[in-house]
Amino acid sequence: MMRNLPNIFTHPLKVLRQTPWALSSALPPRIDPSLSIEEENSPYYEPAYFYPARIGEVLNDRYQIATKLGHGSRSTVWLARDLHQWRWSNERYVALKINSNNTHARKVAGSIELEVLRHITRAKRQHEGWQFVRKLLDSFSVQGISGSHVCLVSEPLRESLAKYCQRWQGGVMPPEIFKIILQEILQAIDYLHTECHIIHTDLKPDNIMIRLEDRGLLSQDALDEFENPLPQKHCNDGRIIYLSRKGYGRLKDIIGLIEVIDFDLAVQGDIPQDGCIQAEVYRAPEVILDKGYTYSADIWSLGVMLWDFLEGRTLFEAVDPRIIEDYDGETHLAYITSLLGPAPKDFVGQGKRTSMFYTAAGILKREDLVPSSFNFESTLSKFDGEEKRMFINFVKRMIKWRPEERSTAKELLQDPWLHNDYPQI
């Protein structure tokens, strides 16, 4: 008898919550099924292992997918309505990351990211850097064709710092603005390193996001998709591949608040670590040689990244896979040698891959690859005079052969270059 009672009696509060939108009656344009788009272009994409999410679908009896925000190499990200709001409340939107499950390793990695985010979210909130890292609002699993998918719920963000830079003339952020953002990044890294004991291992411009200045943009995005859906690709097996909405248009206000995101490759920092990490162009020399790494690998990546934001190009363009066809570790080490001088012999003598690049005497095998005019001064065009000198001194604290000689995030926060535009008290 009980099972026939109306839902109002079995779930009395549910009738007071917001209800799912009906499916849109608007007909989206169709994309040629023979074209590969979005996540299909990922080297890790296999249809059976990516969850076939659909706009309008309600997951975990709570989150209704409203539009697509983007995708990673092993995930898709969606804007979703949180239906656990009172009917009289404003709409609440969340970002929903649905991980793929294409190998046992990635299943483990999805679980690791969940655990890392839980740890980051509940660690010391009083630390100033806590507000500048991604926090977890909720998590659950959803069943797909080939098993369950880990789903992570977070606050929606506006865009990556890489895209944010493009809003400035020449794709270069004014130093006086970037110095404030860089302090936020350093606070975030200090929080991860000292409070969470986490090495990010994949710091790059796409993994630092700018917060939304106006949450009303989320409702606008959802309504746009409902009334004027973007073109869709309908596959023969019934899957739909959606296009991601490309940002929220012009900035209404410059708030410049960031969050460091993507912890699916993060590792514990208080135990020995080795292996291949980091995007190639931001890869530290100890990682190239596979001699183990620690927190300072993140500091190297950050130092190299500064050229992206302040010069509009990567520091090691000669090995950037976005510019050349294939990454080459030998060329990378040659350019690092030109920048820093020959590597210390005791440093190169401990790597599992050292023999690929160095002789038994610790000499680079291909010294002919070392450019003659590649140095800190020659790579900087946006600075001059005292500002240039101070900036070089700053980055030299991060870009060093020996990991133990690199400054910590906490130490870098005190560097004069970060504060030289402010009045002295």
Pairing of strands 75-82, 63-72: antiparallel
Q: Give the tokens for residue 154.
A: 């977070």
Cα torsion through 250, 252, 254, 259, rounded to 10: -80
Catalytic choice (202, 221, 262, 308) = 202
Q: Does 346 participate in catalysis according to the annotation?
A: no
Q: Give the tokens for residue 205.
A: 């411009």
The DSSP code for 261 is -
| Amino acid found at 399 | I
Q: Give the tokens for residue 76.
A: 């898709």
User: Which residues, including other chains, have CB under 8 Å from residue 278's CB and lie 6 or more apart?
Assistant: 201, 202, 203, 204, 284, 287, 297, 301
Cβ density class 276-313: b for 16+ within 10 Å, e for less: ebbbbbbbbbbbbbbbbbbbbbbbbbbbbbbbbbbbbe
Burial of 378 (0-12, 13-18, 19+ CB in 10 A): exposed
Indicate which residues carry an active-site annotation.
202
